[in-house]
Each structure stands twice: as C-alpha cells, then as structure tokens.
Amino acid sequence: MTEKEKMLNGELYMPENDEVLFNERIKCKTLCYQFNNLSPDKLEQRKELIKKIISKTGNKIWIEQPFICDYGYNIEIGENFYSNHNLTILDCAKVVFGDNVFIAPNVSFYTAEHPIDYEIRNKGLEYAKPITVGNNVWIGGDVTVLSDVTIGNNVVIGAGSVITKDVPDNVVVAGNPARVIRHIDSKLN
C-alpha cells in the first residue's frame, strides 16, 4: 500500500519521505501562493485559482486571502460558502463543508494527527481523520476544528472555540474544549 493510500485510509503513514505526497503538497502550495499574491481586485482570477486548488466546489463560494491548505483534493465545499481571511485547512483527510457555511477570520481545520507514543511520532509517522461541517453553519473567529469531528446542521460556533468532538444539530457551542451553550429552537436570536 502506498503512503498516499495509507493517508487516505486513516492509517499511519510517512508524509515527508514520500515523493508523490511531497509533489502534491508543492503543487497545491504553489497554487495557494499564486492565489494569495493576486491583487484583491482580480476577482475572476481568484475564482479560477480556487477552483484549481479545491477538488469540489459549489458555484457561489468566496474565500478571502490568504488561504492555505495541504492538498486541496480532499476539500469539498457546498453552495453559498464564505470564508474570511486566514483560513487554514490541513486536508490530509477529507474536509467537507455543506451549504450556507460562513467562516470568520483565522479559522483552522486540522485533519492531521500525530501518535502519542514518542517513538512512533519521532519516526515521522502521522495519520489523518476527516472533518465534516453541515449546512447553515456559522463559525466565529479564531476557531480550531480538530480531526475526526462532525459539525451538525444549523450550528453556531463561538469565537475562540476548540472543537474536539462532534457537535449536534441546532446548537450554539463555545469554549475550549467547546461545549453546548444552548439549543436553537426558533428562528429568533
């Protein structure tokens, strides 16, 4: 089994010494560099580059510069997606966003994990688990979403939160680690 196959299967893999993964990261990071260094008024070029970086996108998406990801091909974005500045997605595993997702500045999604056992970790091995974000989700600034997490539909995540476990539908969560603050049971604030 190749290192890429191990990565995509959530198994321990060696990212640094694998030529295929290295070349794929360089290709993606070069496209991110081009995107991040375009003048903000180059709207069509920005849209074209994002479509080259990310494997699957809806028609109505907008990502403010700068944007960083590892591979791009593990990211899927639904319709009506907006991300403010400094979105980081470490997409060694799938990161899937539903429709109507709004992301504030400085938000990070980390699928990569490192073994707790230092002897294994020191060999350079890591693994990755997916992240899924449902529909109608608003994520506040400076939020970190860790691997192997599913965020439900109709969720609001408070600024500065660290999401370490699944978030159910129709809730507001906040904190480090994030916890349910309240349930959303009406369309009123």
Catalytic residue IDs: 114
Identify the helix (H) or strand (E) that includes residue 67.
strand 67-69
Identify the helix (H) or strand (E) that includes residue 76.
strand 75-77
Other residues' Cβ atoms within 10 Å of the Cβ of residue 59 = 8
- Tokens read off for 113: 């994990």
Q: Of 141, 144, 36, whose CA–CA distance to 89 is shortest?
A: 144
Number of residues in the chain: 189
3-state class (DSSP) for residue 53: helix
Q: How far is CA 96 from CA 78, 127, 152, in A?
A: 8, 18, 12
26 touches 70 (CB < 8 A): no
| CA–CA dist 44, 133 (Å, integer) | 27
CA angle in degrees (0–180, nearest 5) for 169-173-179: 105
